[in-house]
Amino acid sequence: MVGEDPLRTPGSDNKLMSKRVKVPGVTLINTYISEDAIMNTIALREMLPVDGILIPIFFSNYLLTLDYPNSELIFNLGGVE
Protein backbone atom coordinates (compact mmCIF):
# COMPACT_ATOMS: atom_id res chain seq x y z
CA MET A 1 0.00 0.00 0.00
CA VAL A 2 1.30 3.44 -0.96
CA GLY A 3 -1.26 5.51 0.98
CA GLU A 4 -4.94 6.37 1.32
CA ASP A 5 -7.18 8.88 -0.43
CA PRO A 6 -10.69 10.16 0.28
CA LEU A 7 -12.88 9.58 -2.78
CA ARG A 8 -16.13 11.41 -3.39
CA THR A 9 -19.17 9.56 -4.63
CA PRO A 10 -21.13 11.12 -7.53
CA GLY A 11 -24.34 12.80 -6.41
CA SER A 12 -23.43 12.60 -2.72
CA ASP A 13 -21.38 14.44 -0.13
CA ASN A 14 -20.20 11.11 1.28
CA LYS A 15 -16.51 10.25 1.10
CA LEU A 16 -15.03 6.79 0.83
CA MET A 17 -11.51 6.02 2.02
CA SER A 18 -9.56 4.25 -0.68
CA LYS A 19 -6.25 2.44 -0.44
CA ARG A 20 -3.70 3.61 -3.00
CA VAL A 21 -1.51 0.77 -4.31
CA LYS A 22 1.30 0.42 -6.85
CA VAL A 23 0.48 -2.19 -9.49
CA PRO A 24 3.33 -3.25 -11.80
CA GLY A 25 2.57 -4.31 -15.37
CA VAL A 26 -1.16 -3.74 -15.68
CA THR A 27 -2.03 -5.50 -18.94
CA LEU A 28 -5.28 -5.32 -20.88
CA ILE A 29 -6.32 -8.57 -22.55
CA ASN A 30 -5.94 -8.65 -26.35
CA THR A 31 -3.77 -5.51 -26.39
CA TYR A 32 -0.09 -4.70 -26.20
CA ILE A 33 -0.77 -2.25 -23.38
CA SER A 34 1.24 -2.98 -20.25
CA GLU A 35 1.83 -0.11 -17.84
CA ASP A 36 2.88 0.31 -14.23
CA ALA A 37 0.15 2.18 -12.37
CA ILE A 38 -0.86 3.66 -9.05
CA MET A 39 -4.47 2.65 -8.42
CA ASN A 40 -7.11 3.29 -5.81
CA THR A 41 -9.00 0.30 -4.48
CA ILE A 42 -12.46 0.18 -2.94
CA ALA A 43 -15.03 -2.58 -2.40
CA LEU A 44 -16.79 -1.64 -5.63
CA ARG A 45 -18.71 -4.91 -6.01
CA GLU A 46 -20.59 -4.08 -2.80
CA MET A 47 -21.93 -0.89 -4.39
CA LEU A 48 -22.19 -1.49 -8.16
CA PRO A 49 -22.56 -4.47 -10.50
CA VAL A 50 -19.19 -3.80 -12.22
CA ASP A 51 -15.71 -5.31 -12.07
CA GLY A 52 -13.90 -1.97 -11.96
CA ILE A 53 -13.55 1.53 -13.32
CA LEU A 54 -10.65 2.69 -15.47
CA ILE A 55 -9.91 6.40 -15.52
CA PRO A 56 -8.82 8.28 -18.66
CA ILE A 57 -5.34 9.17 -17.36
CA PHE A 58 -4.39 5.48 -17.61
CA PHE A 59 -4.79 5.80 -21.40
CA SER A 60 -2.98 9.13 -21.89
CA ASN A 61 -0.68 7.64 -24.58
CA TYR A 62 -3.57 6.23 -26.61
CA LEU A 63 -6.51 7.39 -28.69
CA LEU A 64 -9.62 5.45 -27.67
CA THR A 65 -12.70 4.75 -29.72
CA LEU A 66 -15.83 3.49 -27.98
CA ASP A 67 -17.76 1.42 -30.50
CA TYR A 68 -21.08 0.98 -28.70
CA PRO A 69 -22.94 -0.96 -31.43
CA ASN A 70 -20.18 -3.62 -31.48
CA SER A 71 -19.35 -3.42 -27.74
CA GLU A 72 -15.70 -2.68 -28.45
CA LEU A 73 -13.06 -0.38 -27.02
CA ILE A 74 -10.43 0.31 -29.71
CA PHE A 75 -6.90 1.47 -28.79
CA ASN A 76 -4.48 3.33 -31.08
CA LEU A 77 -1.13 4.90 -30.20
CA GLY A 78 -1.09 8.69 -30.32
CA GLY A 79 -2.13 10.38 -27.10
CA VAL A 80 -2.04 14.07 -26.28
CA GLU A 81 1.44 15.57 -25.83
Lowest mean pLDDT across 19-28, 47-56, 58-67, 72-81: 72-81
In this model, does residue 69 exceed pLDDT 90? yes
Radius of gyration of the chain from Cα atoms? 15
Q: What are the pLDDT digits (tens) for 35-60?
A: 788 888 887 778 778 877 777 777 77
The Cβ-side half-sphere exposure at 44, using a 13 Å CA radius, reads 12
- Cβ-Cβ contacts under 8 Å for 67 (sequence gap 6 or more): 73, 74
Task: Tell me, yes or no, if the pTM score tops 0.75.
Answer: no
CA torsion through residues 43, 49, 50, 53, sign: negative
